[in-house]
Amino acid sequence: MASQEGTKSATALEEFLGASPLQLFIGGQWCPSRLGETFEVLDPGLGARLADVHDAGEIDVDAAVRAARQAFQKSGWARMAPNERGVYLHRLADLVESHKNTLARIESLDVGKPLDQAVWDIENFSATMRYYTELSQHVAHRDPIAVARHEAWTVRHPYGVCGFIFPWNFPFLLVGWGISPALAAGNTVVIKPAEDTPLSTLYLARLAKEAGIPDGVINVIPGLGETAGAALARHSGLNRMSFTGSPEVGRLVAEACGRNLVAVKLELGGKGAAVIFEDVDLDSTVDQLVRAITLNAGQVCCTASRWVVHDSIYSKFAQRAVDRMKEVRIGYWNDTKTEMGPLVSSKQVARVLGYLERGCQEGAEALLQGGRTKVPGKEGGFYVKPAILAGSAENVAAREEIFGPVPFLLRFRDESEAIDIVNRSPYGLANSVWTEDLNRAHRVAEKLAAGNSWINAHNVFVHGVPYAGINLSGLGGGVLGPRTYFDYLREKSVVRPL
């Protein structure tokens, strides 16, 4: 049965990639880019070409925004009751589930992540879609206001056309986090996936068509950031924008949207810390943090990349961390023993190695040397070994986002020093506190400056619990919480003097 399933998804995958160059999805139709340009997508585990994809230019972006506008005005999507839209969205979630194995293989091939991690991403997409679909049916879209001598209420309407720009590290999962609340609220969307990893989003477009979602409600325009991304961000036909990626590009997108007075949500990078007190179970804490920093080869915005350890256990902790990191099994996505795949691109390899070099030049000690490594039979792949650095909190590798399997060890003597070290970061996405003392855990968790504090765990995502960044890590309310749904609805007041 399992192998039958495997053969089915291998065939579906072959057929999907066989259609290369893959086209844009605009107004429910597959179409080439108007200028006929394409770009290459690589398998990072091999460093070899996986597919060619049509590269959306400004004219294609404009066509996608127009198609989304037309669908918003004419398809009936925006005016459907939430439970009517819910039929389509649950159908889409069903299709994602029934194509889970194919989608997970696409994601693994495209990003390099081990298959079980990709399966989790795909399942998370459906869960997000169902969460917002259910929520949309159980919240009030009209609220009476009790004021003297007036009949008054507020009513909520969808915005219109929402643009989405996504990064390459969790392509499918992040599309789910982004578009689910927007669609459930009755908006139409234009999605610009990252040029490194556009494949699963294109497969989603197929499923949207099969689910019967009206043409133009979901549009997918793969393309390069400086061209397709920039054209989408500055398009005056947008009503809302959501960007997930680096703070540098986030600023550009926010500036472009600002010129058109388009509201924007930004989900940006991070330099998360784990504060480890002296009373933890050392083995279990080290194991969980190693898993967190090697998840997706460390290319996770919220992961714990600063390990802030109590002085009394620092040496033991550091030794266990080195021993455990050395055991991490690096390999290709389809090897069931693989714990960590390659980085996404040669550019990302250069970034990680560059930080190792600069960190050491600035005086950091390499407790574990990183560097390039090879996987037998996959010599062209973008593999690096995990590394551990230690030293001053002012070191460049302790301050900036490396986005690779490289934690930076720091030591503290008391609670207030730990909080001070963590809060010196200009980022503010997610931190964690590790201790058996829950009073201390609650106290410290509430004092850490970030959108999210986790206790005795790292990388915790729960539908219904908001996930947002502050400072350099983002603005605009975040994702995953119930309020995100309302971010995609405008509120209007209606009043009649009595």
**Taking the complex as a whole, how short is the minimal distance between the CB of residue 224 and ligand NAD, in angstroms?**
6
The rounded distance, in Å, linking the Cα atoms of 261 and 431 is 33
Closer to ligand NAD by CB, 184 or 249: give it. 249
For residue 257, indicate whether it is catalytic.
Answer: no
Closer to ligand NAD by CB, 160 or 171: give it. 171
**Taking the complex as a whole, how short is the minimal distance between the CB of residue 245 and ligand NAD, in angstroms?**
3
Tokens 């404009």, located at residue: 62
**Taking the complex as a whole, how short is the minimal distance between the CB of residue 230 and ligand NAD, in angstroms?**
4
**Taking the complex as a whole, how short is the minimal distance between the CB of residue 201 and ligand NAD, in angstroms?**
10
The rounded distance, in Å, linking the Cα atoms of 63 and 219 is 10
- Give Cα separations from 62 to 66, 79, 194 (angstroms): 6, 24, 18
Closer to ligand NAD by CB, 270 or 370: give it. 270
- The overall longest dimension of the chain from CA atoms, in Å, is 80
Give CA torsion, residues 367, 370, 375, 376, to 10 deg.
-70
Closer to ligand NAD by CB, 84 or 226: give it. 226
Which residue of the set 162, 257, 301, 302 is catalytic? 301
Closer to ligand NAD by CB, 86 or 225: give it. 225
CA atoms within 13 A on the CB side of 336: 0
283, 494 Cβ separation under 8 angstroms:
no
**Taking the complex as a whole, how short is the minimal distance between the CB of residue 301 and ligand NAD, in angstroms?**
3
Tokens of 59: 């004219």
Tokens of 398: 């302790």
Residues 6+ apart with CB under 8 A from 98: none
The residues that touch ligand NAD, with contacts defined as CB under 6 A, are 165-170, 174, 192, 194-195, 225-226, 229-230, 233, 244-246, 249, 252-253, 267-270, 301, 401, 403, 429, 469, 474
Closer to ligand NAD by CB, 43 or 195: give it. 195
Q: Which stretch of DSSP H or E encloses residue 9?
A: helix 2-18
370, 406 Cβ separation under 8 angstroms:
yes
CA-nearest of 472, 466, 312 to 401 is 472
Which residue of the set 107, 195, 267, 401 is catalytic? 267
Residue 226 CB neighbours (<10 A)? 11
Using DSSP's 3-state secondary structure scheme, residue 82 falls into helix
The rounded distance, in Å, linking the Cα atoms of 136 and 146 is 24
**Taking the complex as a whole, how short is the minimal distance between the CB of residue 479 and ligand NAD, in angstroms?**
7
Query: Which residues are known catalytic residues?
Result: 267, 301
